[in-house]
Amino acid sequence: MDLALAEARTAAARGEVPVGAVIVAPDGSVLARAGNEVEARHDAAAHAEMLALRAAAARRGEPRLVGCDLFVTLEPCPMCAQAISFFRIRRLVFGAYDPKGGGVEHGARVFDATSCFHRPAVIGGVCEAEAASLLRDFFAERR
């Protein structure tokens, strides 16, 4: 989670919403890491999770990341949660909960839907205070 938090801080420094994600292979090596790039890419889908998932799959040369874990600083939105399912992530570990836009523990609860093909193990609230503080501080500066 420390690497994901570092990615979130880097994203904030670029003016992006501070969310960071890291994909870890079954052997514990880091396959990919990313921070949000929505503004830089002019792409509403350039969430940290999406970028990290795509980069890890490209690095492995496979469309699925079976046995891999995703660490992300914020509860994934419904789009990212669905992608996590499609990529077959083994375990999702996230920091801050997102009651408004989350898609795992809140909102759509994608993994609980009968249409969900794969449900990863989910651990929420890891380094929650630090992840939430990054987001709070980022938005407080802009209001």
CA 138 to chain centre: 18
Question: Which residue has tokens 């996590």?
Answer: 84
**Cβ(128)–Cβ(98) under 8 Å?**
no
Catalytic residue flag (residue 141): no
Print burial letters for 47-66: b (CB count within 10 Å at least 16), e (below 16): bbbbbbbbbbbeebeeeebe
Q: Using CA atoms, how far apart are residues 64 and 91, in angstroms rounded to an integer?
A: 13
From 7, 37, 39, 49, active-site residue: 49
**Cβ(72)–Cβ(21) under 8 Å?**
yes
**Cβ(70)–Cβ(53) under 8 Å?**
yes
Q: Using CA atoms, how far apart are residues 1 and 22, in angstroms rounded to an integer?
A: 8
**Which residues participate in catalysis according to the annotation?**
49
